Chains A and B, each alone.
Chain A
Amino acid sequence: MENVGVCDEFVNLKATELRLGLPGTEDGGEAEKQKISCGRSNKRALPETEKDIESTGKTETASPPKAQIVGWPPVRSYRKNNIQTKKNESEGQGMYVKVSMDGAPYLRKIDLTVYKQYSELMKSLENMFKFSVGEYFEREGYKGSDFVPTYEDKDGDWMLVGDVPWEMFVSSCKRLRIMKGSEAKGLGCSV
């Protein structure tokens, strides 16, 4: 019957179709999820972020990064825009990003447009959080300190501060995190 033929074709289509799903529920599901969490090859390896393990009650599917689904969650664009503009306006013209440091109980916000280059930014962060960041080496990351400044970019990947040209950094940085300890070493030293 014609219908059977249609179904067969659908099975094939299904296999190649990219969908979201819990591992095991759909064929393509697992592969897709892993694809998302792999990151790109030209970026340094991601450290395991603790936040997902810490946060109580979140399901496994809640691990970052969330793929952007059109129209989800179903909130009217009018409402989305109004909340967004609020955030931007209240922060004035600058590019404000949150800065957190491992072990410090408080978050700070800084305006990236105030700085012209990495050294200025680093000085400011060091002052703010009372630490010292060591020296940056292009291939080896930061040496001479337990602290490593990292940032989350537009794609949701965690990068080492200083890897990309300053302008690119300012335009893609969503927030900063100063990592500490063994985690930091892992990030700083990988290729």
Chain B
Amino acid sequence: MASVSLLFVTLLSVTLYINIKSFILWDQSQTFLPSLSDSVLMDRRFPFKVLEHIFSFVDSNEDRNSVSLVCKSWFETERRTRKRVFVGNCYAVSPLKVARRFPKMRSLTLKGKPHFADYNLVPDGWGGYAWPWIEAMAARRPLLEEIRLKRMVVTDECLEKIAASFRDFKSLVLTSCEGFSTDGIAAIASTCRKLRNLELRECIVDDLGGDWLSYFPETSTSLVSLDFSCLDSEVKLSDLERLLSRSPNLKSLKLNRSVTLDVLESLLRRAPQLVELGTGSFSDELDPEEISKLTKALSELKQLKSLSGLWDLLPEYIPVLYSVCPRLTSLNLSYATVQMPDLIDLLSRCSKLQKLWVMDLIEDKGLKTVALCCKELRELRVFPSGADLDETDVTLTEQGLVSVSEGCQKLESVLYFCVQFTNAALVSIAKNRPNFRCFRLCVMEPFAPDYRTQQPLDEGFKAIVERCKDLRRLSVSGLLTDKAFEYIGVHAKKLRMLSIAFAGDSDLMLHHLLSGCESLKKLEIRDCPFGDTALLENAAKLETMRSLWMSSCFVSFGACKQLSQKMPRLNVEVIDEHPPKTRPDSSPVERIYIYRTVAGPRLDTPEFVWTIHKKPEVGVSRLAIR
């Protein structure tokens, strides 16, 4: 099937445009670029049915976006067959347009707030409201089955609307969302008869109690995945037991912390077919008999591939997990505050592990074990435990990552928090693992140079971008000069997302990036000393990207105005919680968020967000509708 879509892509003599262009195409009353129709090999007489059939094999939305740009008939056929719709920025296009364009839509994925919202850099109330989308889909696409939202504000009204409007609704996945309560969840549970997936991943929920679980009707047997790990309150054990007993298709269960260890066994007995398990708290006192029962229950989970939760994991309970280790492909220990020796004990048994999330308590020694034992490892994330602030000795250095890069041939994705680093280590890592697709290094000390040579980490990151030709995502840190970004601009041609903090010397840095990184889609920058010139010189680039975030940089209000007037299809948002009384052009702005859009300035901005108006004489327009 892949070869069929590849065939079409190679037949096309059109350069790959971006998603937004296809909306522009449609937006302009369905006229299309004349030159395209001449160069196309398949003409309009090619039967729709055949096209439709062929397009049904094209899964990737990127390919579909390219397909839709070929000519009008391809556009039409593609849009009528697209089932899974992805909108990377909910403000890039209006819900109405999306609803109208894809009549066969069954699944909608939306992303709202900028990524830096995760780190409290976006004030509350900025936006990202799911309601207009839910409302539009409810009215026009009642056959919608799946809604996946990330970093959006979802209210109980939204959830109730979903429950009431989509009779075949199957799947709700909310990641890092907020604004709803357990009442909303209850509405989904009680009304969506065909519900398969209910996943709340790291959401901030107004927890009014564990009753919501009892709202799953006794007749509901369709659950495939349930994730309520982010909720606080206790659910009733009997409700949960009964739900598990009548859900033979349940493959993924992620409990919350208030599910105590003593009841885990009883739950697992009722769901031996689980493939993914997120336990609750793992710290209660169990007597030997209970321990033995739990061990047995875990060993019965023959399909189990993924284990998470493990809150407050006590070292004495690690043997209980031995039986599942050899089968595990994914292990999330990032909430388990166990020390290195215990981690080694566990990880040395996980030979099939592909994904490991752990805290820095693993130390270099633990990572060496991972390098020796987990040869299938593809993704590693090492989070800071804060132990260094307590001055407990945690020996996690750059050596840990070097070991893993040496030992794990398949490693392609890394997130690593470390106090300091060296260029030599980065060079080794790059040499060992040219197959990195995602490399995120957070040197926690801002401006920290190579601690052995006191040099900036320019050369280290140069090695990374030079060698890792497939790099899609990069986060840099430590002391970096403009040179580092020159290297990135020159080499990182496939880079799509880049995160920068406390780096660079001048406008050159931004200029290198915007002029060099051809595939760049998302750029987020904080606390870097530049702005205006590079921004204005590379304005056109911004329309090829999804978004640009800059906070605590030197961007002037005047530059924002110029940029906005120059680029009609960019929203230039100024986010300023402490706005000055007057705003001369030279005044710096706290934060800017620039994103391409065909929807024009949004109408739901709060009082601390200004969308720069396109007309010079207006300057700033605050189009706020609450």
* A residues lining the B interface (CB < 8 Å): 2-3, 5-6, 9-10, 13-14, 19-22, 25-26, 51, 57-59, 61-62, 69-79, 82-83, 86, 90, 98
Contact = CB atoms under 8 A, between A and B. Distances in A.
A76 B119 contact: yes
Contacts of A20: 446-447, 502, 527
Given A22-B447, A71-B120, A82-B335, A59 B586 contact: no
Contact of B119 (A51, A57, A72, A86): A72
Interface in B466-504: 479, 499, 501-502
Nearest to B230: A78
A25 B554 CA distance: 17
Contacts of B588: 10, 13
Given A72-B444, A72-B446, 19 more contacts: A2-B558, A6-B556, A6-B558, A13-B554, A19-B527, A20-B446, A20-B527, A58-B420, A58-B451, A59-B445, A61-B445, A61-B447, A69-B446, A70-B121, A71-B121, A74-B499, A74-B501, A79-B383, A90-B283
B396 to A, nearest CB: 12
Given A20-B502, A58-B419, A86-B335, A10 B586 contact: yes
Contacts of A22: 447, 449, 479
A71 B119 contact: yes
Contacts of B118: 74, 76-77
Given A51-B391, A83-B335, A6 B501 contact: no
Given A6-B586, A10-B556, A10-B586, A25 B447 contact: yes
Contacts of A77: 118-120
A158 to B, nearest CB: 14
Contacts of B397: 57
A69 B444 CA distance: 11
B448 A59 contact: yes
B354 interface: no
Nearest to B393: A55
Contacts of B390: 98
Contacts of B428: none
Contacts of A78: 176, 202, 204, 230
A90 B312 CA distance: 9
Given A22-B479, A25-B447, A78-B202, A72 B501 contact: yes
21 contacts: A6-B585, A13-B588, A14-B529, A20-B447, A21-B447, A22-B447, A26-B529, A59-B445, A59-B448, A59-B449, A61-B446, A62-B419, A69-B446, A72-B446, A74-B119, A75-B384, A76-B118, A76-B176, A78-B202, A79-B334, A82-B335
B412 interface: no
Contacts of B559: 6
Contacts of B501: 72, 74
B417 interface: yes
B386 interface: yes
Given A61-B448, A83-B385, A73 B337 contact: no
Contact of A83 (B116, B120, B386): B386
B586 A75 contact: no
A9 B586 contact: yes
Query: 5 closest Cβ contacts across the A-B interface?
Result: A71-B119, A9-B586, A78-B202, A73-B444, A74-B119
Contacts of B119: 70-72, 74-77
Interface of B: 116, 118-121, 176, 202, 204, 230, 257, 283, 311-312, 334-335, 337, 383-386, 390-391, 397, 417, 419-420, 442, 444-449, 451, 479, 499, 501-502, 526-527, 529, 532-533, 554, 556, 558-559, 585-586, 588
B70 to A, nearest CB: 41
A18 to B, nearest CB: 11
B448 A74 contact: no
A76 B479 contact: no
Contacts of A58: 419-420, 451
A86 B154 CA distance: 28
A82 B357 CA distance: 15
Contacts of B585: 6
A70 B283 CA distance: 32
A9 B556 CA distance: 10
A73 B444 CA distance: 6
A104 to B, nearest CB: 15
Nearest to A81: B204
A115 to B, nearest CB: 22
A3 B447 contact: no
Contacts of A13: 554, 588
Contacts of A6: 532, 556, 558-559, 585-586
Given A62-B419, A73-B417, A83-B335, A3 B533 contact: yes
Given A6-B585, A57-B451, A78-B176, A71 B479 contact: no
B312 A86 contact: yes
Contacts of B527: 19-20
Nearest to B444: A73
B447 A73 contact: no
Contacts of A51: 391
Contacts of A73: 384, 417, 442, 444
Contacts of B417: 73, 75
Contacts of B445: 59, 61-62
B555 to A, nearest CB: 10
Contacts of A19: 527
Nearest to B532: A6
B382 to A, nearest CB: 12
Contacts of A10: 554, 556, 586, 588
Contacts of B532: 3, 6
